[in-house]
Amino acid sequence: MKQLVLRNSLYERIYRSLGIVCMVMVIVIIITGDKNEWSFWLQIIAMLLLGLTFLSLNFGTLVNRLTAYKGELTIRWYTKPGRITLRIHEIDDIHADENSIRIILKTGRSVRLPTGMLEFDEKRAVRKFLKETTGF
């Protein structure tokens, strides 16, 4: 199994900072709020969930991951909800430019991976990984 994991450090810092702010808000609400009202508990639960979401980088969905295993390419990209699984033998061509990488399948379907926000070394690593695993 070959895997490439890319993290966008700027997004990571922003999300972690927002998570810390939400956790501080929980403490402020606990200190200043009235524990006998239902809105107090609703605010606490909402801020805790929001803070955990930010601290966990949206439960790991902001981490770009390419995995090649047993003839399948699994893509988890920060702009795509969930995962995309492609069979490597069904890939017809791969095009890369400054802002995206486009994987074209034999069926005509294309999968676009935006790389405009990535560093130059990370873009090169994605292209190299795809070239090694698919042969294109």
- How far apart are the C-alpha atoms of 47 and 33, rounded to whole Å? 13
We report the CATH number of the domain holding residue 104 as 2.30.29
Structural domain harbouring 120: 63-134
- Residue 61 has what pLDDT? 76
Contact between 115 and 130 under an 8 Å Cβ cutoff? The reply is no
pLDDT tens for 30-49 read 999 999 999 999 999 999 99
Enumerate residue ranges in the chain where pLDDT < 50. Answer: none
How many residues in the chain?
136
Using left for φ > 0, alpha for ψ between -120 and 50, and beta otherwise, residue 62 falls in alpha
**Residues 95 and 39 reside in one and the same domain:** no
**Residues 50 and 68 reside in one and the same domain:** no
- How far apart are the C-alpha atoms of 114 and 80, rounded to whole Å? 10
**Residues 49 and 78 reside in one and the same domain:** no
Residue 1 lies in a domain: no
pTM of the model: 0.73
Tell me how many domains the chain contains. Answer: 2
- Residue 26 has what pLDDT? 96
